């Protein structure tokens, strides 16, 4: 039996991040996508009636012959969910009768109109109607909301006393919805330059310039050109540590000695182990350092162009221009996050080592470059004592030593996961914090899995079924039809996804964080 709900119940609605509803704090199921799309149309109307024809045009790009009947069916179902008194039929069409303040879009607009832009964007959980299909999201009503976000983000960037980190986060996110908006990207470039992120500013300009050329066949306009000039003129500060280093003194010293004695050094390790933090700490000690962020480059990304952007140089032939840009510098060059562009990094590092005698190259990657003369150092997870210290340094609580030790064990001593757990909600249990932190590792681990061949991915997924250390015999069992399993195992070790086990002779181990997503791969 279906229960219809009363008007007086506490109902909240959201369109940002997806069309959702809550009753008395509990999320309610809104049904299939077309039904949610109808509700979205009413929410976007902000209390105004929407005629049946308008609903049909929102829900379908080409309404079916029985569209009117389907609209009535969706309305009937939604009334059972939100209450008959909440969804009414007026002479002008269907309308939601509700408290506007209970809709996230209305709250965003209210705060924006008060010029409270930081709190306004705190309301925004994601793109408007993100759970609906691409055709629906192209409807003018949704595009108009996206435009509101763009204009608010630009206004936020020039607001007095705005938090620069939050402004940057907002601009970066809104830019994903408006990839060709010159005014928005010009503001993002200026914010990067203002915050000392000249490399990001120049790379962002290069990306929008290419996009405008390839998709619209136009050159950057005056606003973008002026922002680019500002980025070129901005000073390049010394790199600073961005993540607290706890328990890395020995590793940092050993890395410094290796870098001193080698032209090309690669620091390898699993996702989240802190390679970037250690490399930046070393760069901060150098008299001259150039840091090139490669993590956002596509697999065919232009590493040389990214390097030149980091030193404020533009060239038609970036590879040919790199030696001249660096030849007169005595510097530490950090190529950070090279795993997706290993071949390009190897080629570039080889050229620099040959033609720039006073430049030392430090690469962070999940796998080595494979260059002759390359020194490879592996960064291991923190031991449990240092892991606990890192958690307590960032946590807003004082839990028991035993609870902290268990959390750090579940997170494998990986600094990224531990810091994410420490930053979690104050009221959450440590178990819940660990769960959230593990889930948050899906993106960095997923990037590593995406670089594997089908055989490598299959073997990893099968080995993830083993809870604990395993031997070559286990590998042979897991490989089955995979040819040359020992070679494939070596590939997984090279990718920092399998490690030699210290507690068993000729044994291997997979970190729990990697196992979690390897098992998910197996289930898929």
Please report which residue ranges of 130-271 form alpha helices under DSSP H. 134-137, 140-157, 164-175, 182-194, 198-211, 222-233, 249-261
Tokens of 163: 């938090």
- For residue 108, is pLDDT > 70? yes
Average pLDDT on 402-407 reads 88
Instruction: Report which secondary-structure segment, H or E, holds 12.
Output: strand 11-14
Please give the Cα distance from 153 to 150 (Å, whole number): 5
Work out the pLDDT band at 236, boundaries 50, 70, 90. Answer: low
Of all residues in the chain, the percent with pLDDT exceeding 70 is 93
Average pLDDT on 125-129 reads 88
Q: Using CA atoms in the order 407, 408, 412, 416, what is the torsion angle rounded to 10 degrees? A: 100
Work out the pLDDT band at 319, boundaries 50, 70, 90. Answer: confident
Is the Cβ–Cβ distance between 19 and 129 less than 8 Å?
yes
- Cα 80 to chain centroid distance, Å, stands at 38
DSSP labels, 128-166: BTTTS-HHHHTSHHHHHHHHHHHHHHHHHHTSTT--HHH
Q: What is the pLDDT of residue 75?
A: 94
Tokens of 24: 């008395």
Is the Cβ–Cβ distance between 312 and 198 less than 8 Å?
yes
- For residue 401, is pLDDT > 80? no
Q: Mean pLDDT of all residues in the chain?
A: 87
Q: What is the pLDDT of residue 260?
A: 93
Encode pLDDT of 32-80 as tens digits. 999 999 999 999 998 899 999 999 999 998 999 999 999 999 999 999 9
Average pLDDT on 446-475 reads 91
> What's the predicted TM-score (pTM) here?
0.61
Work out the pLDDT band at 240, boundaries 50, 70, 90. Answer: very low
Q: What is the pLDDT of residue 197?
A: 79
Q: Using CA atoms in the order 169, 170, 173, 178, what is the torsion angle rounded to 10 degrees? A: -140
Encode pLDDT of 150-194 as tens digits. 999 999 999 888 888 889 989 998 998 899 999 999 999 999 888
Of all residues in the chain, the percent with pLDDT exceeding 90 is 51
Please give the Cα distance from 434 to 279 (Å, whole number): 26
- For residue 300, is pLDDT > 80? no
- For residue 233, is pLDDT > 80? no
Longest dimension (CA), the chain: 81
Distances (CA, A) of 79 to 14, 40, 46, 71, 277: 17, 14, 18, 12, 53
CA 110-112-116 angle, to 5 degrees, is 105
């Amino acid at each position: 039996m279906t229960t219809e709900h009363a008007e007086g119940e506490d109902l909240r609605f959201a369109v940002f991040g997806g069309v959702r509803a809550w009753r008395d704090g509990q999320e309610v199921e809104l049904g299939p996508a077309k039904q949610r799309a109808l509700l979205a149309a009413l929410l976007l109307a902000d209390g105004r009636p929407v005629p049946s024809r308008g609903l049909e045009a929102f829900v379908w790009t080409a309404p079916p012959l029985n569209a009117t009947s389907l609209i009535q069916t969706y309305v009937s179902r939604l009334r059972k969910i939100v209450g008959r008194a909440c969804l009414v039929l007026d002479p002008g069409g269907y309308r939601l009768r509700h408290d506007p303040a209970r809709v996230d879009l209305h709250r965003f607009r209210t705060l924006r109109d008060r010029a409270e832009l930081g709190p306004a964007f705190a309301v925004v959980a994601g793109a408007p109607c993100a759970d609906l299909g691409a055709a629906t999201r192209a409807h003018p009503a949704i595009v108009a909301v996206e435009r509101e976000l763009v204009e608010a983000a630009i206004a936020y960037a020039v607001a007095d006393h705005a938090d620069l980190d939050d402004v940057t986060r907002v601009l970066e996110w809104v830019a994903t919805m408006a990839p060709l908006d010159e005014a928005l990207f010009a503001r993002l470039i200026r914010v990067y330059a203002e915050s000392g992120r000249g490399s990001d500013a120049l790379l962002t300009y290069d990306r929008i310039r290419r996009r405008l050329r390839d998709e619209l066949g136009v050159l950057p306009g005056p606003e973008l050109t002026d922002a680019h000039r500002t980025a070129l003129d901005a000073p390049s500060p010394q790199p600073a540590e961005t993540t607290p280093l706890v328990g890395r003194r020995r590793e940092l010293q050993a890395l410094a000695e290796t870098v001193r004695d080698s032209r090309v050094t690669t620091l390898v390790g699993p996702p989240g182990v802190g390679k970037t933090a250690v490399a930046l700490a070393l760069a901060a000690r150098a008299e001259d350092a150039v840091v090139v962020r490669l993590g956002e480059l596509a697999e065919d990304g232009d590493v040389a162009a990214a390097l030149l952007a980091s030193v404020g140089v533009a060239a038609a032939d970036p590879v040919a221009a790199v030696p001249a840009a660096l030849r007169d510098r005595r510097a530490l060059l950090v190529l950070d996050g090279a795993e997706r562009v290993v071949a390009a990094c190897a080629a570039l590092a080889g050229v620099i080592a040959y033609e720039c005698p006073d430049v030392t190259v430090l690469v962070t990657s999940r796998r080595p470059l494979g260059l002759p003369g390359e020194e490879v150092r592996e960064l291991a997870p923190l031991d449990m004592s240092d892991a606990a210290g890192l958690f307590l340094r960032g946590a807003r609580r004082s839990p028991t030593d035993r609870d902290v030790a268990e959390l750090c064990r579940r997170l494998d001593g990986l600094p990224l996961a531990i810091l994410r757990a420490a930053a979690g909600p104050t009221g959450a249990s440590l178990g819940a914090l660990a769960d959230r932190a593990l889930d948050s590792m899906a993106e960095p681990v997923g990037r590593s899995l995406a670089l594997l061949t089908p055989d490598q991915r299959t073997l990893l997924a099968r080995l993830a079924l083993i809870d604990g250390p395993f031997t070559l015999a286990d590998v042979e069992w897991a490989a089955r039809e995979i040819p040359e399993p020992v070679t494939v195992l070596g590939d997984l070790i090279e990718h920092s996804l399998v490690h030699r086990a210290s507690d068993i002779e000729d044994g291997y181990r997979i970190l729990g964080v990697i196992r979690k997503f390897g098992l998910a791969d197996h289930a898929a």
